[in-house]
Every structure is written in C-alpha cells, then in structure tokens.
Amino acid sequence: MAAGYFLLQRLWNPVLEYNYTLSLLFQFQIIGSFALILLVTGMIAADLFCTERENRLNPAFIGLLSGICTALVFTGILVFFDLVSHPPIIRYVVDPFLMRMFSDRLLQQWFIPLVQHLLISGTVQALGAWYQGSRQDDRDTRDGNPRRSAITGIVNRHRFALFALLAFIIIPAGLLHLGMNTGIISEQSSCCTITDSVNVTRTGPDSILIVMEPYPKMHADSVPIVKIFLNEKEVSNQSVIAGSGLDDTIDPPKGLMYQNGASVTLRGKEASGNKTIPAHLRVIVFRPDTGTGAEICDRDI
C-alpha cells in the first residue's frame, strides 16, 4: 500500500500541476487501487493461514487481523515520512501556540487517518478473506483434500489479480502523461490560491522582506496571529527577539500583521544567508477563533 501510494503520487504530481481539474480522477484511482490491494491481500491471507481442514481459523477473522496489521504498518510509514519532511519544533514546545499546533497535527494527520485505515483495511480484507475461504470450501468439497499453502502457488494463483492491480495503477497516469505530451489534454492550473501566502524577497546579505498575502475568502472571527521563525528561532516581533538574546531587528517592531500588503523586514545574523549557507524561514498563521494554525511558508533563502 505504501509503495503504491508513493508511486501514484510520483506519477500524478506532474499531471495535477499541468491540469488541476483531473484531481477527482486521481482520488478515484487512489480509492480503487487501495480497494484492489486490500481485497487481494485478504485473499492471500486466507490462502496462507486457512488451508488446513483441522483447527482451521475463520477466514474473515484472519482477514480482519491482516487488515489491522496493514493499517498500522501503512500509517506508521506515512507518519515516519511526515516527521522526516516536517520535523516538530521540540525546543519551542513550551509555547502554547506550538503545543496546540503539534496536538492538532497529531490528531488530524496521524490519529484520524489511523482510525480510517483500520476500519477500511480491516473490513475490505475480511471480505476478501471470506470470499477466498468460501472458494476453498467449494474446492475442498470437489477435490476431497485441501491444498496446503505455498507462497509460489499462491502468487501463481493470484497472478491475474496482481497484474490487473499493477496495470490499474500505472496505465491511467501513463495515458495522461501521453495526453500531456501530445497536447490532447489542455493545461489548466488551479484558478486561485487556496490558502494564505507570503511573498519573500532577500533585499541584502543580511536582510529579508516578507509581504503578507491573506487568502481573500478566508473568514475569521478574530484577527489571526503571524509567527515567523528563522533557523528554528522565533523572530515574530522585537520583544521576542530581545527575549531570545538574538542580535536581529524586525521593522516594524510589532511584527507582521495579517493584512493584505503588510510587510516586515528582518535584519541581522539570523537573516544572513547566501546560496551556500541559506537562512531557513518558516511562517505560521495561527487562528485564535478556531485554535488551529497553518504553515504557509517553509523555505531556504
């Protein structure tokens, strides 16, 4: 599942950048691919563990166990790559804002998907194992003796399903890439920005200009707070900079306001950078009315 997920992302990223309207087709292929993977896995689990007539385990139960293990491992792989790509700021965990952000990330990106994966994977694999178990019963009735499980025999028995699954994953994206290269599919990017953003420009060896660009359709009952980090050190306003003992300045001293066109200029050691050793900038927008935050900039400059 993890290999299929990352393969589909790699195949579809250029397609979605070229024509965003194809995102529904991408979601359909993700759902269809996962359903086929889970069904085939459940059938293989039944062949592996439910072939003995004496003390035979219930195929649906075996499929359920296989689905639970699949969900745990799959979610664990996604969490690992998420942590590698976006490591938490441990040193600032005492900040209530960042503590809430980390807890929201834990709930929304890890725990909720784990529950969804457990329900879907367990159910679909149980169905696949139950179906394969019923076929085993019919075969045992005709042959008189059940066949013992063997990996080579199982792979050979399900070769059509495995080839069909591989084709279902690769062929649609391959056809879309062909359509892009030949011009059959027209280029169409996303019509608008779907979140807040900032425009970042280096104005000198030790100065960075940040301009706020809020998403115009975003509604908030209270004014969002903009947090700025340079090299994982908070530089949101002059008071925070002075409290951290950093030799940097921010103009205006109150920091970046959540207004269209609002800007700040950061100067000093932390803002210094070049192509060899850039400064790492992160900008996070926190919404007090919902208690949520979103990272709108994470880049080297």
C-alpha pair distances (Å), 211 with each of 132, 133, 208, 237, 264: 60, 62, 10, 15, 7
pLDDT in tens, 97-132: 555 555 555 666 678 888 888 999 999 999 999 988
**Claim to verify: residue 35 and residue 92 sit in the same structural domain:** yes
Residue 187 lies in a domain: no
Give the per-residue pLDDT at 90. Answer: 43
Distances from the Cα of 224 to the Cαs of 211, 212, 218, in angstroms? 15, 12, 11
Average pLDDT value over all residues in the chain: 79
d(Cα 293, Cα 286) in Å, to the nearest integer? 4
Of 156, 182, 208, the one marking the end of a domain is 182
Specify if 257 maps to a domain: yes
Q: What is the predicted pLDDT for the residue at 191?
A: 43
The confidence score (pLDDT) of residue 92 equals 40
Residue 229 banded pLDDT, cuts 50, 70, 90:
very high
Q: Which carries the bigger pLDDT value, residue 150 or residue 21? A: 21
Residue 43 inside a domain? The answer is yes
Residue 7: is its pLDDT beyond 60?
A: yes
User: Of 115, 150, 182, which closes a domain?
Assistant: 182
Q: Do 146 and 205 have their domain in common?
A: no
pLDDT computed for residue 103 by the predictor: 56
pLDDT for 118: 92
Residue 62 within a domain: yes
Structural domains in the chain (count): 2
149 and 57 Cβ atoms separated by less than 8 Å: no
Instruction: Please state the rounded mean pLDDT for residues 148-162.
Output: 63
Task: With respect to residue 246, please indicate whether it lies within any of the assigned structural domains.
Answer: yes
Q: Is residue 151 part of a domain?
A: yes
| 229 and 274 inside one domain | yes
Tell me: do 249 and 158 sit in the same domain: no
The pLDDT value given to residue 155: 61
The 3 state secondary structure assigned to the chain is CHHHHHHHHHHHHHHHHHEHHHHHHHHHHHHHHHHHHHHHHHHHHHHHHCCCCCCCCCHHHHHHHHHHHHHHHHHHHHHHHHHHHCCCCHHHCCCHHHHHHHHHHHHHHHHHHHHHHHHHHHHHHHHHHHHHHHHHHHHHHHHCCCCCCCHHHHHHHCHHHHHHHHHHHHHHHHHHHHHHHHCCCCCECCCCCCCCEEEEEEEECCEEEEEEECCCCCCCCCCCEEEEEECCEECCCHHHHHHHCCCEEEECCCCCCCCCCCEEEEEECCCCCCCCCCCEEEEEEEECCCCEEEEEEEEEC
pLDDT at 193: 44
Mean pLDDT of 259-272: 91
Are both 137 and 225 inside the same structural domain?
A: no
Domain at 239, CATH number? 2.60.40
pTM for the predicted model, two decimal places: 0.54
- Do 140 and 75 reside in the same domain of the chain? yes
Express each pLDDT in 164-213 by its tens digit: 888 888 888 888 888 888 877 766 654 444 578 899 999 989 999 999 98
**Quick one: 164 and 56 in the same domain?**
yes
- Phi/psi at 106 (nearest 5 deg)? -60, -40
Give me the pLDDT at residue 143, please: 53
Say whether pLDDT at 94 is over 50: no
Local confidence band at 221 (pLDDT 50, 70, 90 cut-offs): low
Q: Are residues 134 and 243 in the same domain?
A: no
Where among 158, 182, 206 does a domain terminate? Answer: 182
Q: Indicate if 13 and 145 belong to the same structural domain.
A: yes
For residue 192, tell me if it sits in a domain: no
Whether residue 188 is contained in a domain is answered as: no
Q: Are residues 123 and 248 part of one domain?
A: no
Q: Count Cβ atoms below 10 Å from residue 245 Cβ, excluding itself.
A: 7
* 155 shares a domain with 44: yes
Q: Is the pLDDT of residue 73 over 90?
A: yes
* Whether residue 65 is found in the same domain as residue 214: no
- Give the pLDDT of residue 287: 79
How many C-beta atoms surround the C-beta of residue 96 within 10 A? 9
pLDDT at 180: 80
Give the model's pLDDT for residue 235.
93
Q: What is the pLDDT of residues 33-62, one digit of tens each?
A: 899 889 988 988 888 887 655 556 788 999
Residue-range definition of the domain harbouring residue 276:
197-300
